């Protein structure tokens, strides 16, 4: 992928914008410690393209994941400005050049669906 292609990934209604994780939002769970909802570029659960407000907690059992350890400590994955934010890319198209490589590293971690 070149820089131009990386820039196009989040333009308009490109599938990447709605179906690929942009950010992991921390959720409170009564049993598990590190529960996160992967959201798309519009801050909606993956696959949702609507601009209507959604209740993240209502997606706990269908979309949320739990990590076996604090994902903040995962090196070489996150692209947030703040070290406590779990962004996989940002508005700089260069952050998308190695997106799939970093996503692959994340998938190698111990991750389970909360409702699974």
24-52: pLDDT as tens digits: 999 999 999 999 999 999 999 999 999 89
Question: What is the CA angle 8-101-39, rounded to 5?
Answer: 60
Who contacts 76 (Cβ-Cβ below 8 Å, separation ≥6)?
102, 105
Q: Provide the residue range defining the domain that includes 62.
A: 3-113
Rounded to an integer, the average pLDDT of 89-107 is: 93
- Mean pLDDT, residues 103-114 taken together: 93
Q: How many domains does the chain contain in total? A: 1
């Amino acid at each position: 992928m070149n820089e131009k292609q990386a820039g196009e990934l989040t333009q308009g209604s490109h599938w990447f914008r709605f179906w690929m994780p942009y950010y992991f939002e921390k959720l409170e769970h009564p049993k598990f410690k590190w529960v996160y909802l992967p959201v798309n570029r519009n801050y909606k659960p993956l696959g949702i393209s609507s601009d209507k407000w959604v209740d993240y907690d209502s997606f706990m059992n269908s979309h949320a994941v739990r990590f076996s350890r604090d994902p903040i400590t995962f090196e070489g994955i996150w692209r947030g400005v703040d070290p406590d934010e779990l962004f996989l890319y940002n508005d700089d198209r260069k952050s998308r050049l190695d997106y799939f490589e970093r996503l692959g590293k994340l998938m190698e971690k111990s991750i389970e669906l909360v409702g699974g």
